[in-house]
C-alpha cells in the first residue's frame, strides 16, 4: 500500500502500527480530533506527502524528524500546535502549508531546511513579522526574488482582495520594498497597498 487516508477517526491518538506499511508515499490524516502526536510514524523513507487536517489536539511533530524523503507537508486546523520541532532534519522538504494554527509561533525549524522553496501561511495569528524566516536558506537565497518576497508578504498579510473596493478576486498589492508593481484590481483598477 502506497497511499493511506485516515478520516474521522475519532479515537486515534497516535500512529502506532503504521510502520507496518513501509511502501507508504502519501498519508492523509483528516478530522482525527484526539490525535496529539505522530509517534508511531516510524521511519518511512519513501513518504513524500503528508496532509494533516482538522487534528485539533495535535501538539507534537517530533516524529517527522525520521521522514527523510518528505517533500510536501500540509497542516491545517492544528489549534494547539505551538512549534515545528522535528522538521529541522527533514532536509528534502520543499513545500510547507500551515493554515489555521492559531497557537503556532515558533518557526525556527523552517530556517534549517535547504530545500524549502514554498511557504504558505494562512490564519497564523502569532506571526507578527517575517523576521523568523530571515535565517532560512530559502529566504536568503531568494531575497532578491521579488515574486518570492511578494508571495510571503501575501501569506503573512492574509489579504485576498482589493483594499479599495473589496473585490474578492483581486490580488493584493506587493509590499513597498518589493520590486514588483501592484496588480490592478480587475473591478476598480486600484493599485492600493494592503492596510
Q: At 181, list the grid cell.
A: 508593481
Tracing cell 501538539 back to the chain, one arrives at 59
Name the phi and psi angles at 89, rounded to 5: -100, 0
H/E element holding 155? helix 146-157
Q: Looking at residue 163, what is its pLDDT?
A: 47
Q: Which residues contact 181 (CB under 8 A, 6 or more apart)?
A: 174, 191
Residue of 75, 21, 70, 66 whose CA lies nearest to 47: 70
**Local structure of 164: helix, strand or coil:** coil
Sheet holding 118-122, edge to edge: 3-7, 26-30, 49-53, 72-76, 95-99, 118-122
DSSP codes of every residue in 51-77: EEES-TT--B-GGGGG-TT--EEEEE-
Q: Looking at residue 44, what is its pLDDT?
A: 86
Tell me the C-alpha distance between 183 and 44, whole Å.
43
Whether the Cβ atoms of residue 89 and residue 116 lie closer than 8 Å to each other: no
Q: Looking at residue 19, what is its pLDDT?
A: 86
Query: One digit per residue, pLDDT tens: the chain, 195 residues?
Result: 999 999 999 999 999 999 889 999 999 999 999 999 999 887 788 999 999 999 999 999 999 999 989 999 999 999 999 999 999 999 999 999 999 999 999 998 998 898 988 889 999 999 887 877 776 666 554 433 434 444 444 444 433 444 445 444 444 443 333 333 445 555 565 554 433
Q: Which residues contact 189 (CB under 8 A, 6 or more apart)?
A: none
Q: How many CB atoms lie within 10 A of CB 132?
A: 17
Q: At 67, list the grid cell.
A: 521522514
In the CATH hierarchy, which top-level class contains the domain 3-143? alpha beta
Tracing cell 513501509 back to the chain, one arrives at 22
Domain extent listing, the chain:
3-143
Amino acid at each position: 500500500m502506497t497511499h493511506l487516508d485516515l478520516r474521522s477517526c475519532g479515537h486515534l491518538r497516535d500512529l502506532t502500527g503504521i510502520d507496518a506499511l513501509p511502501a507508504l508515499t502519501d498519508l492523509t490524516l483528516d478530522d482525527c480530533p484526539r490525535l496529539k502526536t505522530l509517534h508511531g510514524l516510524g521511519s518511512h523513507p519513501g513518504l513524500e506527502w503528508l496532509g494533516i487536517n482538522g487534528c485539533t489536539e495535535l501538539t507534537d511533530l517530533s516524529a517527522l524528524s525520521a521522514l527523510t524523503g518528505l517533500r510536501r507537508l500540509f497542516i491545517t486546523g492544528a489549534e494547539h500546535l505551538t512549534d515545528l520541532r522535528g522538521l529541522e532534519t527533514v532536509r528534502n522538504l520543499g513545500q510547507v502549508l500551515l493554515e489555521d494554527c492559531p497557537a503556532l509561533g515558533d518557526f525556527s525549524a523552517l530556517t534549517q531546511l535547504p530545500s524549502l522553496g514554498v511557504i504558505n501561511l494562512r490564519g497564523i495569528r502569532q506571526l507578527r513579522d517575517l523576521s523568523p524566516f530571515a535565517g532560512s536558506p530559502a529566504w536568503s537565497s531568494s531575497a532578491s526574488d521579488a515574486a518570492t518576497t511578494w508571495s510571503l508578504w501575501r501569506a503573512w498579510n492574509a489579504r485576498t482582495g482589493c483594499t479599495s473596493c473589496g473585490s474578492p478576486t483581486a490580488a493584493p498589492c506587493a509590499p513597498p520594498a518589493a520590486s514588483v508593481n501592484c496588480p490592478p484590481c480587475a473591478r476598480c483598477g486600484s493599485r492600493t497597498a494592503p492596510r
